[in-house]
A and B are shown apart, each in its own frame.
Chain A
Amino acid sequence: MPELNPQTDERFEVSERTSMAYGTKFLTGNFPKEELYPVAWNRENNLFRQSLFIGLEGKVNYFLTAFVNQESLEVSEASSFLRKIDPITQENLLDYEEDEIQESIFRIRTSPSISCKELANRLLTLLNDAKEEEASIAIDSFRNFYSFFQINTNIKCPTISLTPENNIYASWKSKQNRVFSVHFLAKGSVRFVIFKPNDRHPEQQIRLSGTATSDILRETVTPYGVWDWISE
């Protein structure tokens, strides 16, 4: 699937609908009927909602919602996710962070290099679940996780969950009692756990944990054969 860039793709046109409380814009894309671009997010009741739009008559709508009352806000039409230009407050900061997470999920969805397409769905579900608990994903942990997947594009989808500090915890498991779990911390740090069979003593299991940074995690765990079974 080709990389999708709504701002530069000529197949998109921006239309605008006004509402009392929300400024909602739509990007309308024209695609072949068989082409599926499941990339629409809409925040209702403060939750992100993803919709699938199959190319009915070649039309795909992309919802771009400014999320909050816009009376005091300027909205950038050029952005795929509308920016709020407002004095910095804690609430605004959280909004910016959520927009960044949302935008990164969009990039994961449309990136041809990341093999795990399910990853965007899982992140979106996690984000929605966090919102239900009046929390979010810790932005530094998310950046670290996102950076890891940009470097390591051909790995299988992990199960992703949130720690009590709202950090991302990714876990790969296999039927052979193999576990590889990574706790994504701030500043690029990771803590990992490996469970693997002891090849010389099948009744035994090797268990270890460690600390590294996400950019060298692959080299760090190479001696334990982790990438052999988490790669596509």
Chain B
Amino acid sequence: MKGDEIPDQDHIARYCRPTQAPGGEIQAVAFFLREDEESLSVNWMEFLSCPNRESEIAQLRNIYFAKLNRVAAGAKIAVLKVGEIRQKVLMESQDRRNLKVLHNPEVNDPSHSGIYNLKPDYELIAELILQTVLEAYPARR
């Protein structure tokens, strides 16, 4: 349901554009908000109800393909654990930032979710989040 907190033990995926992952290496900019954004778009992986990571990634690729006009060759999927992000940022940000990771479903993307409370000082917060990336996959087959 919209606004539900995603459990700390669950995982989220973030689509990273090629300019956010030069040379295939995901950078902190992948976790920057646009000026007019309130939350960082992610997908709640457990919500997909897939049997394993491989099928989760396959489903995410289908979602990206449907939502975006095209998925660039160098685009990546970053996988992160909700609890690790929240704990890392809480313990290591200067203002002990308490991030919220909330379910924010969209019509064609029911697993869509958001990371909230990234501003201000978003560069430092993004660098901390980057350090919690567990896995990275190509966003295109």
Interface on A for B, CB 8 Å cutoff?
A: 122, 125-126, 129-130, 132-133, 135, 159-165, 169, 171, 179, 181, 183, 191-193, 195, 205, 207-209
Contact = CB atoms under 8 A, between A and B. Distances in A.
B141 interface: no
Interface string B88-107: 00001110000000000000
A51 B21 CA distance: 23
B48 interface: no
Contacts of B17: 129, 133, 162
A181 B31 CA distance: 14
Interface in B84-141: 92-94, 121, 123-124, 127-128
Nearest to B70: A132
Contacts of B93: 207
Given A159-B23, A169-B123, A171-B27, 20 more contacts: A129-B18, A132-B72, A133-B17, A159-B25, A160-B22, A161-B20, A161-B21, A161-B28, A162-B19, A163-B29, A164-B32, A164-B33, A169-B29, A171-B28, A181-B127, A191-B123, A192-B123, A193-B123, A209-B94, A209-B124
19 contacts: A122-B22, A125-B23, A129-B17, A129-B22, A132-B72, A133-B18, A133-B19, A135-B19, A159-B22, A162-B20, A164-B35, A165-B34, A171-B28, A183-B123, A193-B28, A193-B123, A193-B124, A207-B92, A207-B94
Contact of A161 (B27, B37, B124): B27
A39 to B, nearest CB: 21
Given A132-B72, A207-B94, A162 B29 contact: yes
